[in-house]
């Protein structure tokens, strides 16, 4: 059993989901014409498949860790994505049975463009949920210096805000498109757009919850026993950009002679 398989078994991600994600990845890896015709799908499934390995550090997760994992929603997200990948792979197999680069293959991709875009959105959402989950869990479970944790919190918060904005803009675009459609339009297209809008809306909400989890992480910083070398420049403490994360800061026993030392918040 691989590290990913062990971690997945612990946190509740099914073997079927992992195989389905890998199956969609393999479909594109084995078919160059599909990669060239649907480059965004190939990009998203490659990113997701590669980054699933970032869950391996959970292979020995205990009960407390499992509670943290559940709070991220990543188990449900990947299991649902597995179902989507399985169905999408079967659809792609049918659509490309007569080739990808020929007239029929191109026509099939055009006819099913709404389904393809919906699935791209699902892959994008799941990959970003994975990034969020790993970021949050790493901050909570992996021992690091507080300054390093503070920097990672700030970077993840910026990424989450950016993804949330991107998803909201995409959702608003779909919503506007739906308002222009009437009953004469293909109901299948409307259904696909509705579903894609729902996926993006839930991701926007999930991003807000993740931002709240990040806001709740607070740091206690203790620095002691520092002796600086002559003619050196030393900064001890926290940059002002992350000061809102610091609950308490204690700096003691700092010795300096001919060096430049900045202590506290800088």
Number of other residues whose CB lies within 10 A of the CB of residue 180: 7
- CB contact at 8 A, 23 and 85: yes
Residue 237 has what pLDDT?
Answer: 67
Residue 147 has what pLDDT?
Answer: 77
Residue 243 has what pLDDT?
Answer: 56
Whole-model pTM: value is: 0.81
Residue 205 has what pLDDT?
Answer: 96
Residue 193 has what pLDDT?
Answer: 92
Task: Give the chain's residues under pLDDT 70.
Answer: 183-186, 219-225, 228-232, 234-250, 253, 257-259, 261, 263-266
What tokens were used for 6?
A: 């062990």
Distance CA 250, CA 101 (A): 65
Residue 140 has what pLDDT?
Answer: 84
Residue 220 has what pLDDT?
Answer: 64
pLDDT in tens, 27-53: 999 999 999 999 999 999 999 999 999
What tokens were used for 17?
A: 């989901």
Distance CA 266, CA 264 (A): 6
């Amino acid at each position: 059993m691989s590290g990913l398989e062990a971690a997945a078994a612990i946190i509740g991600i099914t073997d079927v989901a992992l195989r389905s994600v890998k199956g969609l990845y393999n479909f594109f890896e084995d078919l160059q014409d599909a990669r060239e015709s649907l480059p965004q799908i190939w990009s998203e499934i490659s990113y997701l498949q590669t980054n699933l390995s970032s869950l391996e550090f959970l292979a020995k997760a205990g009960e407390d860790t499992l509670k943290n994992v559940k709070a991220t929603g990543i188990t449900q997200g990947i299991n649902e994505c597995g179902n989507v990948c399985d169905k999408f792979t079967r659809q792609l197999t049918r659509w490309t049975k007569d080739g990808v680069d020929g007239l029929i293959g191109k026509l099939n991709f055009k006819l099913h463009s709404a389904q393809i875009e919906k699935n791209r959105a699902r892959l994008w959402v799941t990959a970003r949920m994975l990034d969020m989950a790993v970021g949050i869990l790493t901050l909570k479970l992996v021992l690091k210096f507080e300054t390093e944790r503070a920097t990672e919190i700030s970077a993840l918060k910026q990424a989450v805000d950016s993804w949330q904005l991107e998803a909201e803009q995409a959702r608003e675009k779909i919503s506007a498109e739906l308002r222009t459609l009437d009953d004469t339009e293909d109901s299948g297209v409307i259904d696909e757009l509705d579903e894609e809008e729902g996926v993006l809306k839930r991701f926007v909400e999930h991003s807000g919850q993740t931002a709240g989890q990040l806001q709740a992480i607070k740091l206690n910083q203790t620095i002691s026993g520092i002796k600086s070398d002559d003619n050196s420049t030393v900064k001890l403490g926290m940059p002002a950009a992350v000061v809102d994360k610091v609950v308490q800061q204690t700096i003691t026993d700092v010795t300096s002679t001919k060096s430049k030392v900045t202590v506290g918040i800088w």
